[in-house]
Amino acid sequence: MNIGEAAAATGVSAKMIRYYESIHLLAPSKRTDSNYRTYGDKDLHNLRFIKRARTLGFSLDQIRELLSLWQDSGRASADVKAIAQAHVAELQKRIDELTEMRDTLSHLAHACSGDNRPDCPILQGLAEADENTHCH
């Protein structure tokens, strides 16, 4: 199957397939005599694996490690679990940071009357945050 067909079958764009090959996340495709890429079932399975892992927010390095473990029949599931748990912790940290940002901005927006006066608690809050990050 050619790259367009592989892209359609997996939901991974041809551009991303070429990129994954260039960074060695995906093995280089076989080539026809006219130098067109061809993909087999194993390639499609790997592409679907990569796509699903990306959907779950794993980094390319984590995916590389997960792919390696997936292809290693002698792997310990504890190794896979450790990667997943580390990723869950990273996601929770990002969620906490985003929640804090949302809450702060919501508070500032609520304090703003949104009228024609120049007073703006949002801009004032942003300016105060900037002043608090500099040494005096």
Q: Is residue 9 part of a domain?
A: yes
pLDDT on residue 132: 60
pLDDT digits (tens, 9 = 90+) for 17-28: 999 999 999 988
pTM: 0.77
pLDDT on residue 133: 56
* 38 bridge partner residues: 30
Q: Is residue 47 part of a domain?
A: yes
Closest CA to 51 of 78, 19, 79: 19
The domain that holds 30 is classified in CATH as: 1.10.1660.10
Q: Is residue 51 part of a domain?
A: yes
State which residues form the domain around 26: 1-58
38 φ, ψ (degrees, to nearest 5): -130, 145
Concatenate the DSSP letters of all residues of the chain into one string. Answer: --HHHHHHHHT--HHHHHHHHHTTSSPPPEE-TT--EE--HHHHHHHHHHHHHHHTT--HHHHHHHHHHHH-TT--HHHHHHHHHHHHHHHHHHHHHHHHHHHHHHHHHHH---SSSS--HHHHHHHHHHHHTS--
**Is residue 10 within 8 Å of 1, Cβ to Cβ?**
no
Q: Is residue 45 part of a domain?
A: yes
pLDDT digits (tens, 9 = 90+) for 87-127: 999 999 999 999 999 999 999 888 887 788 778 888 888 88
Q: Is the pLDDT of residue 15 over 80?
A: yes
pLDDT digits (tens, 9 = 90+) for 45-72: 999 999 999 999 999 999 999 999 998 9
**Domains held by the chain: number:** 1
CA 14 to CA 7: how far, in whole Å? 6
